[in-house]
Amino acid sequence: MQNNSPLSISDLWHQSRLLVSDKFESPPVVLKVDDSIIGTLGNFSASTGKAKSKKTFNVCAIVASALNNGTVLSYIATLPEIKRKILYIDTEQSPFHCQRVLKRILLLAGLSLDSQPERLEFLSLRRYAPNVRLQIIEEAIYKTEGVGLVIIDGIRDLAYDINSPSEATNLITKLMQWTDERQIHIHTVLHLNKGDDNTRGHIGTELNNKAETVLQVTKDEFDKDISSVSSMFIRDIDFEPFAFRINADSLPEQIDGYQLPQSNTAKGFDYFEVSEAKHKEALENLFSEACHVSYSSLIAKLQTSYKAVGYSFGVSKAKKLKVFLENKRMIIKEDKFYKYNTDFYY
């Protein structure tokens, strides 16, 4: 926290009081899709998708729209004049590949490749440890005048363990602190699990719970050159999914009139389908007879235990449930057997 004289708990308590007579203005909108609000100052959002779904191409469009305060693909940026600076942080790629992303952004924004625009700062942090990356980002956020939008492409790389509840909580708390104290918008990028459409690890769970919007980028099952963008979670009214393909200039280009294929709407086990309490009750019943259960008997036992708490699943749905439970580390595979992880974080 950028504060030379930390306040006491008593000071923080009094600062946190909220009265019905307090006056608050709606946070300025900085990013929309059509009439749907995607991002406001003082909040954060995320893009997620499976490997090679073209998440970074999608984020390039967001940044290009912010550079011009205009429209790119379906993104409409409206950054206030005093908040026009953009920080783009990449945690995964080499400097060579980062520069390709930078050039792609400038081309999308219709800007020259001969000089770096003053409104955009690009950081390549692949070489550093997660804790050092976090410190560099914080320094840049607090020392960059006029910053309004921050992109963190690869938030997973700011933590050592993606399944650590404490690291996830601390990281998301940082995002909330930075956005609130600096009145900026942060947009992060995180992978989806390979086996379903849930965001990865405890960081993904916390993002889903706290983000203003979570966008999902999905590669078309029948045309690998096409990716669609839809909302996984959104506080504002939902928007119609849109799609883009990569054109001959290696830039994302919107496809008008795109319809999501029926098969693309079939997802894995839904996060909201069963409550945490019901998951716990079903799993405690399942593993009460034996601490370890083989895969050959696990699916049938899942069907029985979940039916006992009010959920009836077929074999196919029970297999998706099994993948979901593993990804959330509610069950853990040891050798050829599965055990219940009582310390799971939903």
Domains of the chain plus CATH, in order, are 25-263 (3.40.50.300), 276-340 (1.10.10)
Helix (H) or strand (E) holding 154: none
- Whether 343 shows a pLDDT value over 50: the answer reads yes
- Whether 264 shows a pLDDT value over 50: the answer reads no
Nearest CA among 94, 27, 97, 38 for reference residue 62: 38
Quote the pLDDT of residue 263.
46
Ordered strands of the 213-219 beta sheet: 120-124, 85-90, 147-153, 185-191, 43-49, 213-219, 226-234, 242-246, 252-255
Whole-structure pTM value: 0.75
Cβ contact 162:171 at 8 Å: no
Nearest CA among 188, 102, 86 for reference residue 146: 86
- Count of CB atoms situated within 10 Å of the CB of 280: 16
Quote the pLDDT of residue 215.
93
- Count of CB atoms situated within 10 Å of the CB of 235: 14
Output b/e per residue, 237-263; b: 16+ Cβ within 10 A.
eebebbbbbeeeeebbeebeebeeeee
Residue 265 pLDDT grade (very low, low, confident, very high; cuts 50, 70, 90): very low
Quote the pLDDT of residue 193.
57
- Whether 15 shows a pLDDT value over 70: the answer reads yes
Q: Given the DSSP bridges, would you call strands 29-33 and 75-77 parallel, antiparallel or unpaired? A: antiparallel
Only one residue has tokens 């912010």, namely: 66
d(CA 197, CA 193): 6
Q: Can you say how many angstroms the Cα of residue 283 is from the centroid of all Cα atoms in its chain?
A: 28
Q: List 36's β-bridge partners, or say none.
A: 33
- Whether 103 shows a pLDDT value over 50: the answer reads yes
Quote the pLDDT of residue 147.
97
d(CA 288, CA 4): 53
Mean pLDDT of the chain: 88
d(CA 219, CA 154): 19
Q: List 228's β-bridge partners, or say none.
A: 218, 243
